[in-house]
Amino acid sequence: MSEIRFIEGLLTELTPYVRERYAARKTLSVATKSNPTDLLTEVDVEVQQRAQRRLQSAYPDDLFIAEEEGLGLLPDDPDRRCWIMDPIDGTQNFVRGLFPAFGISLAFVRGGVVRAAGVMLPITGDLFLAERGQGAFRNGARLHVSDVDRLGHAWIEVDYGTQTKREETLRLSANIVVQAGAIRCVCAAVVGMCSIAAGDLDGYVHVGLNPWDYAAALLIVEESGGVATCADGSPLRVFGPQNGVIVSNGRFHEELLAALGRE
């Protein structure tokens, strides 16, 4: 089985469990991590463990990198085959919120490059899939970024993230907040980036993410015609140094980069 079919199967298999726990979310046990709003639920842990078991069985020699439970390690050998997962990206939105803006994210990486990727939004049932060089799809329909070509008309998500990054995000995004056509903040990287791939959003700004937050969505955006860089304009990579995650449909990326504040 190809990696993309494995991703499709696994994300589809995990979805009913997540939907069921979301429906009963008032009864969830919720723990906090680095601060009072950095949340971890039993669902994050269970999804990750189920995925890990399936991956160990299907690909016993591959490395598994994931957000929870000490699996947030980068490979010693950059050429190694590895899988990068965020079991629930947008855990806060899972726990609270009228709109279910969270997703399961899984990417297959070889040689430091994402080769196949999937993001499932369990409540809407939207499954985004991409293979390098083969395009990106939502529920089988080919995706294309929007044709918005200037910041003043663009919908931009400024992802304010957790409290520890808020001052820096304010500085980075102040000009963009003033100049953009519309500002949104949903705070789930996979949702923001897949929205760009689908043409529903034009740009996304974050001061810095972990590989599991964006690895899968990065390929989905690129295969839809979008662009992702660091704040200095260098290409966004899965491993290695990173200062900021700046994503757009590629039609006003230079203008977006130029508007980033650096007080």
Q: Which residue's CB is nearer to a second copy, number 78 or number 97?
A: 97
Residues 203-232 as b/e (b if ≥16 CB within 10 A, e otherwise) read bbbbbbbebbbbbbbbbbbbbbbbbbbbbe
Tokens (6 digits) for 196: 């760009």
- Gap between the Cα atoms of 183 and 155, Å rounded: 6
Can you tell me which of 30, 45, 185, 257 binds a second copy, judged by CB under 8 A? 185
Q: Is 198 near a second copy (CB under 8 A)?
A: yes
Cβ 233 to a second copy shortest distance, Å: 25
Q: Is 209 near a second copy (CB under 8 A)?
A: no
> Contact region for a second copy (CB under 8 A) — 2-10, 40-48, 61-69, 148-156?
148-156
Cβ 235 to a second copy shortest distance, Å: 26
Q: Which strands sit side by side in the sheet containing 227-229, from one edge to the other?
A: 155-158, 203-206, 245-248, 227-229
How big is the chain, counted in residues? 263
Q: Which residue's CB is nearer to a second copy, number 80 or number 184?
A: 184
Residue 77 neighbours by CB distance under 10 Å: 8
Q: Is 187 near a second copy (CB under 8 A)?
A: yes
Can you tell me which of 81, 183, 208, 210 binds a second copy, judged by CB under 8 A? 183
Can you tell me which of 7, 47, 121, 127 binds a second copy, judged by CB under 8 A? 121
In DSSP terms, 130 is beta-bridged to 117, 136
Q: Is 186 near a second copy (CB under 8 A)?
A: yes
78-97 footprint of a second copy as x/- string (CB under 8 A): --------------x---xx
Cβ 167 to a second copy shortest distance, Å: 6
- The Cα angle at residue 127 between residues 96 and 20, in degrees rounded to 5: 45
Q: Is 130 near a second copy (CB under 8 A)?
A: no
Q: Is 43 near a second copy (CB under 8 A)?
A: no
In DSSP terms, 120 is beta-bridged to 104, 127
In DSSP terms, 166 is beta-bridged to none
Q: Is 217 near a second copy (CB under 8 A)?
A: no
Tokens (6 digits) for 62: 């591959």
CB 134 within 8 A of CB 223: yes
Q: Is 261 near a second copy (CB under 8 A)?
A: no
**How many residues belong to the site for a second copy (CB under 8 A)?**
40
List of residues 6+ apart from 78 with CB closer than 8 A: 111, 112, 239
Footprint on this chain of a second copy (rule: CB under 8 A): 36-37, 92, 96-101, 121, 124, 126, 152-153, 155, 158, 160, 163, 166-167, 169-170, 174, 177-187, 191, 194-195, 198, 200-201
